[in-house]
């Protein structure tokens, strides 16, 4: 999809910026490459290129002589350079009249997903008396906002994931109850086959983690690294995917937990109750913000959830942020619900989707609840059922 220059310029004026300076070298900035249309691999791009969208006037680019076609899909005049002196002069010309630009930069690398420009290139721009600001919210507007078709693909993927989750819990309940040896890996592989039936693709097979393995947030069973699922154990399922037939499809991502016995142990029930309350506190804050059209930042959502866990005495058992953006990649380029791993001060923008997924992790087990939200113009929606208690798989 070509860059919408008029829409970018409108956003630049709203943000008080003179321009958005896109830059890439050898694929170092995938955000810029996607926006400029150079990410499809149809043409070789091994040299530095710059493309400035000013707040007013025609865009302009700077490309290497042996890759002068790099920005042909974008409007505006292109300056050709070859040697480093020509590059230096060309960059000065490109940035003439500009005092404040956005780039894929994050102060103190607070948001690593956005921090794609190397320090030397930022210094190169600043040496011309130009202030460099983060393009974080601009990236959201042009990379992370869903249209109605994308939202439909998310809903389809979400419904499919819940069906796969239900089938997996039924499989575990039936096989463990009969005393069969059923491993995490076997369940994972069966779930992967159901993904194919549902028309889902993913960048990874699902997480199936029993008991102590659920205490590792990124545990993945493999043929060599897996354990049996026994009676009287907690089982965590984390699954994410998108519809394979649509190149513009966006992800859904859910986590549920079950227990292979008739009574959930009190320590597990208490931990799950706390994360459920933390999730609901975050959801309530997001929904209130949408109703009142009030600015809300990612770090504020994270803090609302973690405050519940801290007050319940579980602060030391938190290992990750409260949620992440969803897009064409499972971890998209929009705002994350994070004041733990980073301080994400980007705004929640209408048309974006994200997870809310507080978790607690112990030596012998772990619990997490994960739902997806869509932040609309006047309301924020939870796009699938929220787990209210640990499922009894007996």
The stretch 81-108 carries a mean pLDDT of: 97
* 183 has a pLDDT exceeding 70: yes
Instruction: Judge whether 323 and 355 are in contact, CB under 8 Å.
Output: yes
pLDDT digits (tens, 9 = 90+) for 312-363: 999 999 999 999 999 999 999 999 999 999 999 999 999 999 999 999 999 9
Q: How many percent of the chain have pLDDT more than 70?
A: 99
Span of 16-20, 69-73, 129-133, 206-210 with lowest mean pLDDT:
69-73
**Average pLDDT over the chain, rounded to an integer:** 96
| Each residue's pLDDT tens digit, 211-230 | 999 999 999 999 999 999 99
Per-residue pLDDT at 214: 98
The DSSP string of 257-286 is EEESSSS--HHHHHHHHHHHHHHHHHHHHH
Any idea which of 108-112, 274-278, 365-369, 376-380 has the lowest mean pLDDT? 108-112
> What tens digit of pLDDT does each residue of 11-54 get?
999 999 999 999 999 999 999 999 998 877 656 789 999 999 99
Q: How confident is the model at residue 394 (pLDDT cuts 50, 70, 90)?
A: confident
Taking only the tens place, the pLDDT of each residue in 133-157 is 999 999 999 999 999 999 999 999 9
Spatial separation of the C-alpha atoms in residues 302 and 297, rounded to whole Å:
9
Domains along the sequence of the chain with CATH: 5-143 (3.40.350.10), 146-392 (3.90.230.10)
Cα gap 304→138, rounded to integer Å:
25
CA 205 – CA 226 distance, rounded (Å):
14
Return the structure tokens found at 112. 């690593």
Q: Rounded to whole angstroms, how far apart are CA atoms 94 and 321?
A: 39
pLDDT of residue 3: 84
How confident is the model at residue 42, as a pLDDT? 57
Q: What share of the chain is helix, strand, coil (3-state, %, to 5)?
A: 35, 20, 40
């Amino acid at each position: 999809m070509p860059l919408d220059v008029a829409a970018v310029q409108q956003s630049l004026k709203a943000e008080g910026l003179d321009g958005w300076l896109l830059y890439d070298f050898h694929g170092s900035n995938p955000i810029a490459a996607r926006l400029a249309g150079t990410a499809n691999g149809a043409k070789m791009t091994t040299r530095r290129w710059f493309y400035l969208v000013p707040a007013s006037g025609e865009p302009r680019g700077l490309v290497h002589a042996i890759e002068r076609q790099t920005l042909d899909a974008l409007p505006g005049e292109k300056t050709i350079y070859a040697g480093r002196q020509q590059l230096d002069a060309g960059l000065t010309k490109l940035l003439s009249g500009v005092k404040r630009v956005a780039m894929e930069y994050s102060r103190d690398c607070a948001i690593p997903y956005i921090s794609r420009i190397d320090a030397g290139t930022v210094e190169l721009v600043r040496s011309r008396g130009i202030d460099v600001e983060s393009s974080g919210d601009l990236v959201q507007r042009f990379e992370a906002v869903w249209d109605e078709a994308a939202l439909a693909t998310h809903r389809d993927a979400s419904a499919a994931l819940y069906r796969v989750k239900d089938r997996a819990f039924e499989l575990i309940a039936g096989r463990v109850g009969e005393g069969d040896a059923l491993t995490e890996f076997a369940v994972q592989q069966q779930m992967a086959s159901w993904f194919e039936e549902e028309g889902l693709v993913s960048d990874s097979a699902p997480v199936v983690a029993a008991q102590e393995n659920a205490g590792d947030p990124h545990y993945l069973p493999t043929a060599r690294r897996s354990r049996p699922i026994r009676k009287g154990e907690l089982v965590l399922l984390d699954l994410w995917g998108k519809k394979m037939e649509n190149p513009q499809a966006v992800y859904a991502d859910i986590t549920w937990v079950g227990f292979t016995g008739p009574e959930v142990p009190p320590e597990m029930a208490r931990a799950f109750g706390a994360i459920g309350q933390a999730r609901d506190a975050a959801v309530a804050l997001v929904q209130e913000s949408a109703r009142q059209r009030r600015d809300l930042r990612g770090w504020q959502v994270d803090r609302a959830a973690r405050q519940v866990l801290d007050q319940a005495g579980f602060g030391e058992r938190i290992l990750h942020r409260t949620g992440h953006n969803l897009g064409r990649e499972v971890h998209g380029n929009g705002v994350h619900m994070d004041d733990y791993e980073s301080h994400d001060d980007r705004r929640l923008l209408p048309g974006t989707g994200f997870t809310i997924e507080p978790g607690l992790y112990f030596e012998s087990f772990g619990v997490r609840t994960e739902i997806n939200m869509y932040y609309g113009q006047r309301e924020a929606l939870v796009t699938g059922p929220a787990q209210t208690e640990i499922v009894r798989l007996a």
